[in-house]
């Protein structure tokens, strides 16, 4: 018989498998002298506590304490025999590892008998199924307490049956799942993991086709009268994707008491790590600095913002000498809150000028900060101008903000003016504004499209200017990403245009001559 020649890909796959099983063996050491009574007592004790069961039988995956959302999710899945759950968990929150441990326990305790693992392709589905197979085959603790699981004649990559009676099959999206049975058991657990791809999400028809397959071909393989659990693992990587559609379905079923939707970002509403036992604030900050803001929002915050959706191109250019501007405007957009935590909004102060129809963003401060720091930014911008031209200072101040402006900011300004003996006067911009997103798009996008919104190239590497450019790039009409910077620029541009109109001298018509004169009064 001719020997099969292994390809490079085959060798790499074999090496990866050998490393995986070796790691499983290494992390599942046992005491071979344990008696049958000790084994039975340990098994019964651990089966009463999901977390302790996971820690013992899957020690290599439990490197730190689980988070509260992990424990709640496991509790829902384990106690409900008919259940539909969507876990839109950020990367680094152990979606796949957690579901593998849960499914393995359900299988070994004979709560489920037929598992289908679905992914975006057959290869990816098989890859995700390998840790299941490796643990059933080589995990010494499972073997000692539950017996050998490798069933002769039914043990192949992508499809195998354990001695406990549960079968597993990997299926790629679009493949036929029909006829999937383990003896007379229809599928009773469907795990849909990593179903969406960036490429497919760019084509709504492909998402529609895939979702139709999930609902019309895959889920109907389960028994109407039997038990069934359906679990979706993934991120919201696009405005229309299968996970987004699963969330809509899960929300409907939650109202009926048979489903749940979990959307967990790497940081919670308080701006802090949702799993600090594993992901420290420092680690998150460092890692997110390696990727673009758009990538971070999509993969870690379930927020699929589109880079360049409205402001497709950002123009950088050299700013003319400040003395050439008739006047400049410093415009500030204060955010509520007196702290620097990640849950607070960003405060913004911009130095803006217009010349020959071009709006120049000369310098900006855009960050979280204290109110006193916010006022200090005005002073720094005034010092930057250095008296080269007239400067008007404004701050956004609508009716809701007015008490804050009068009672908080104005006293700070007066104190600084008195203590440092400087001329600092900030006028509240009380003009009633229209919808924020529409206003930014209507007033700034045409300028930007024509190359007339210019960011100072000398400030391109300044972290504040970088944040400003980032907010422009990720701006959309749904405001799914902060737009405090663009909102501040729009406010300053409106002040500049208003002052320019006010300074225009009206046309005077006489019999002898017609004369018009435009003149700035600053």
User: What share of the chain has pLDDT > 90, as a percent?
Assistant: 70
How many structural domains does the chain have?
A: 2
pLDDT of residue 6: 63
With b for 16 or more beta-carbon neighbours within 10 A and e for fewer, the 330-350 pattern comes to bbbbbbeeeeeeeeeebbbbb
In a domain, 436, yes or no: yes
Q: What is the pTM of this model?
A: 0.78
Give per-residue pLDDT as tens, 211-253: 999 999 999 999 999 999 999 999 999 989 999 999 999 999 9
With b for 16 or more beta-carbon neighbours within 10 A and e for fewer, the 463-478 pattern comes to ebbebbbbbbbbbbee
CATH number of 388's domain: 3.30.420.240
In a domain, 90, yes or no: yes
pLDDT of residue 513: 40
Q: Can you read off the two tokens belonging to residue 303? A: 């927020």
In a domain, 41, yes or no: yes
Give 233's strand partners: 87, 193
The answer to whether residues 59 and 202 belong to one domain is yes
Give per-residue pLDDT as tens, 345-389: 789 999 999 999 999 999 999 998 888 889 899 999 999 999 999
User: How many angstroms separate the Cα of 107 from the Cα of each of 111, 161, 279, 300, 407?
Assistant: 6, 11, 30, 31, 64
pLDDT of residue 448: 93
d(C-alpha 47, C-alpha 89), whole Å: 26
Domain range spanning residue 117?
A: 37-261
Q: From the centroid of its chain, how far is CA 322?
A: 40
What is the full DSSP assignment across 256-299?
TTSEEEEEE-SB-TTSSBS-TTTS-HHHHHHHHTTS-HHHHHHH
Higher pLDDT, 404 or 1: 404
What mean pLDDT, rounded, does the chain reach?
A: 89
In a domain, 14, yes or no: no
In a domain, 521, yes or no: no
Calculate mean pLDDT across residues 455-459: 97
**pLDDT classification of 502: cutoffs 50, 70, 90:** confident
pLDDT of residue 248: 96
Identify the residue whose tokens are 């490079």. 8
Give per-residue pLDDT as tens, 328-354: 999 999 876 666 666 557 899 999 999
Neighbours of 12 (CB within 10 A): 11
Q: Can you read off the two tokens belonging to residue 118? A: 């679905």
Q: Can you read off the two tokens belonging to residue 219? A: 């889920």
pLDDT of residue 516: 37
- Find all residues with CB under 8 Å of 45, minimum gap 6, and list them: 52
User: How many angstroms separate the Cα of 335 from the Cα of each of 81, 92, 109, 312, 397?
Assistant: 48, 31, 54, 27, 11
pLDDT of residue 99: 98
Which of 41-50, 90-99, 308-317 bottoms out in mean pLDDT, i.e. has the lowest?
Answer: 308-317
d(C-alpha 238, C-alpha 504), whole Å: 49
Q: Is the pLDDT of residue 411 over 70?
A: yes
d(C-alpha 206, C-alpha 200), whole Å: 6
In a domain, 105, yes or no: yes
Q: Is the pLDDT of residue 303 over 50?
A: yes
The answer to whether residues 100 and 172 belong to one domain is yes
The answer to whether residues 249 and 321 belong to one domain is no
Give per-residue pLDDT as tens, 412-421: 888 888 888 8
């Amino acid at each position: 018989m001719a020997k099969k020649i292994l390809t490079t890909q085959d060798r790499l796959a074999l090496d990866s498998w050998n490393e995986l099983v070796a790691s499983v063996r290494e992390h599942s050491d046992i005491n071979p002298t344990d008696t049958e009574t000790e084994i039975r007592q340990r098994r019964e004790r651990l089966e009463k506590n999901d977390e302790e069961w996971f820690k013992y039988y899957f020690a290599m995956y439990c490197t730190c304490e689980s988070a509260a959302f992990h424990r709640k999710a496991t509790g829902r899945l384990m106690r409900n025999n008919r259940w539909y759950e969507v876990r839109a968990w950020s990367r680094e929150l152990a979606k796949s590892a957690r579901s593998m441990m849960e499914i393995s326990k359900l299988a070994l305790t004979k709560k489920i008998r037929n598992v289908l693992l679905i992914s975006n392709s057959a290869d990816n589905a098989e890859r995700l199924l390998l840790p299941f197979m490796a643990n059933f085959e080589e995990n010494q603790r499972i073997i000692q307490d539950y017996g050998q699981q490798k069933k002769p004649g039914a043990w192949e990559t992508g499809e195998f049956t354990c001695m406990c009676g549960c079968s597993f099959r990997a299926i790629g999206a679009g493949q036929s799942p029909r006829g999937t049975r383990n003896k007379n058991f229809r599928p009773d657990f469907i795990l849909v993991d990593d179903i969406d791809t960036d490429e497919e999400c760019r084509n709504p028809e492909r998402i529609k086709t895939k979702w139709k397959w999930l609902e019309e071909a895959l889920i109907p393989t389960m028994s109407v009268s039997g038990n069934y659990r359906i679990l979706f693992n993934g991120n919201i990587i696009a405005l229309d994707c299968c996970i987004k559609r699963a969330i809509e379905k899960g929300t409907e079923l939650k109202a009926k008491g048979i489903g749940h939707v979990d959307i967990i970002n790497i940081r919670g509403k308080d701006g802090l790590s949702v799993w600090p036992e594993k992901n420290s604030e420092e680690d998150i900050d460092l890692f997110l600095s390696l990727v673009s803001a758009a990538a971070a929002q999509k993969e870690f915050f379930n927020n699929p913002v589109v880079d360049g959706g409205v402001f497709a191109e950002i123009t950088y250019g050299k700013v003319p000498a400040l003395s050439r501007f008739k006047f400049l405007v410093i415009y500030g957009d204060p955010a509520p809150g007196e702290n620097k935590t990640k849950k607070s909004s960003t405060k913004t102060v911009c130095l803006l000028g217009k010349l020959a129809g071009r709006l120049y963003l000369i310098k900006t401060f855009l960050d979280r900060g204290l109110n006193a720091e916010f006022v200090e930014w005005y002073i720094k911008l005034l010092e930057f101008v250095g008296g080269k031209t007239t400067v008007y200072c404004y701050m956004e101040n609508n009716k809701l903000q007015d008490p804050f402006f009068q009672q908080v900011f104005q006293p700070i300004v007066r104190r600084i003016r008195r203590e440092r003996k400087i001329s600092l006067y900030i006028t509240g911009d009380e003009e009633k504004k229209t919808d924020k997103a529409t206003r930014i798009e209507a007033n700034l996008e045409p300028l930007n499209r024509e190359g007339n919104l210019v960011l100072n190239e000398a400030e391109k590497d300044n972290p504040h200017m970088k944040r400003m450019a980032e907010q422009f790039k990720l701006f959309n009409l749904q405001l799914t990403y902060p737009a405090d910077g663009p909102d501040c620029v729009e406010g300053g541009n409106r002040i500049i245009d208003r002052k320019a109109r006010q300074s225009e001298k009206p046309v005077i018509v006489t019999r002898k001559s017609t004369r018009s004169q435009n003149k700035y009064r600053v």
